[in-house]
Amino acid sequence: MSKINNIIAELNRLKVCISNNNSQHTDRNRYMRSLWDLLSAEDDERLAEDIVTHSDFPELYQFYSRIWGQYISSSERIHSISISSGKETPASVLAIEDYDELVNEIDLVKISPTDRIFVMVGSGPFPETLMKVYDLKNSFPTVIGVDRCHDSLELAQRIFFSCVQEKVYKKAIFINADGAEYNYEGASVILLANGLKNKRGIIARASQTMADNAVILARNPIRLGRMLYEDILNPIVIDGFKITGYVEPSRLSRTYVLQRDTL
């Protein structure tokens, strides 16, 4: 119990520090790194459950999920603008190890020559995943980024075509839309970003419009990652779908394969 109380106390202390220094960019980065290190240090499932059910959790989640979302979005914008201005190169911000993580995710769905369209919902201002999928050989002639933020989408589109080597047999499309309203007809694979809100609404819309043999890759927080992102798979039940596999890119995240449950 003392370890739980210590973690909760540290989260509350960080919350105060971040609240009091929200205009200091350097301090904000340092606090965000401290937060990630604190959360990812724990791989005890039972301890994580005890923290998630702690009376302080709802308030901490509301604070940290908002602050973390702002931090990630801001970081992605900075990378995109830096690359556009020539201050950074794509290679300097595209983590090599992330390619392996993406390949592991894609391998879960066993791509076939008939898989034509890859859709990412919540592609953000720095479309790292889309760039990597586009660059994969023998996969998805069409990649589509869907984001409801118009400014993020414009920035993503500009940085995408300045970073990738365009291929005559592939195309990339960016669509300004809410994932809970988008039509997923024709999509073979639909990837949901971890930072999305209303994931269940997006999955419900996908269920209405996607092909029966299409699959959803749902990035979802686990353990103390639930302090940062919306958790839709705890308990692991999604009406109309079954989980057919998963990969765990980090201690705080797991990517699930959701396929239609035809039984």
Residues, the chain, total? 263
Q: What is the pLDDT of residue 153?
A: 92
Same-domain check for residues 35 and 114: no
The residue out of 57, 90, 123 marking a domain boundary is 90
Using a pLDDT cut of 90, give the percent of the chain over it. Answer: 54
**Triad 198, 204, 209: Cα angle to 5°:** 130
Per mean pLDDT, which range of 4-13, 22-31, 222-231 is the poorest?
A: 22-31
Same-domain check for residues 107 and 154: yes
Q: What is the pLDDT of residue 219?
A: 93
Same-domain check for residues 85 and 161: no
Q: What is the pLDDT of residue 165?
A: 77
- Domain range for 26 is 2-90
Same-domain check for residues 139 and 239: yes
Q: With 70 as the cut, is the pLDDT of residue 94 above it?
A: no
Beta bridge partners of 61: none
Average pLDDT over residues 46-65: 95
Same-domain check for residues 122 and 244: yes
Same-domain check for residues 150 and 70: no
Same-domain check for residues 79 and 107: no
Per-residue pLDDT tens for 142-195? 999 999 999 999 999 988 888 887 777 788 999 999 999 999 999 999 999 999
Per-residue pLDDT tens for 66-93? 999 999 998 888 888 888 777 777 666 6
- Give me the amino acid identity at 135: D
Same-domain check for residues 76 and 174: no
Same-domain check for residues 51 and 25: yes
Helices marked H in 164-239 — which ranges? Answer: 199-209
Give the mean pLDDT of the chain: 87
Distance between CA 191 and CA 83 in Å, rounded?
A: 25
Label residue 54 by pLDDT band (50, 70, 90): very high
CATH of the domain at 243: 3.40.50.150
Same-domain check for residues 235 and 159: yes
CB 232 within 8 A of CB 193: no
Q: What is the pLDDT of residue 263?
A: 66
Per-residue pLDDT tens for 16-41? 988 887 556 667 888 999 999 999 99
The residue out of 90, 115, 137 marking a domain boundary is 90
The residue out of 90, 124, 156 marking a domain boundary is 90
Q: What is the pLDDT of residue 261?
A: 84
**Triad 74, 252, 69: Cα angle to 5°:** 20
Backbone φ and ψ for 8, nearest 5 degrees, come out as -60, -40
Distance between CA 177 and CA 159 in Å, rounded?
A: 19
Q: What is the pLDDT of residue 47?
A: 93
Same-domain check for residues 123 and 209: yes
How far is Cα of residue 141 from the mean position of the Cα atoms in its chain? 22
Average pLDDT over residues 228-241: 78
Same-domain check for residues 67 and 177: no
Domain count, the chain: 2
**Triad 155, 160, 166: Cα angle to 5°:** 150
More confident residue, 104 or 49: 49
Label residue 139 by pLDDT band (50, 70, 90): confident
Q: What is the pLDDT of residue 216?
A: 94
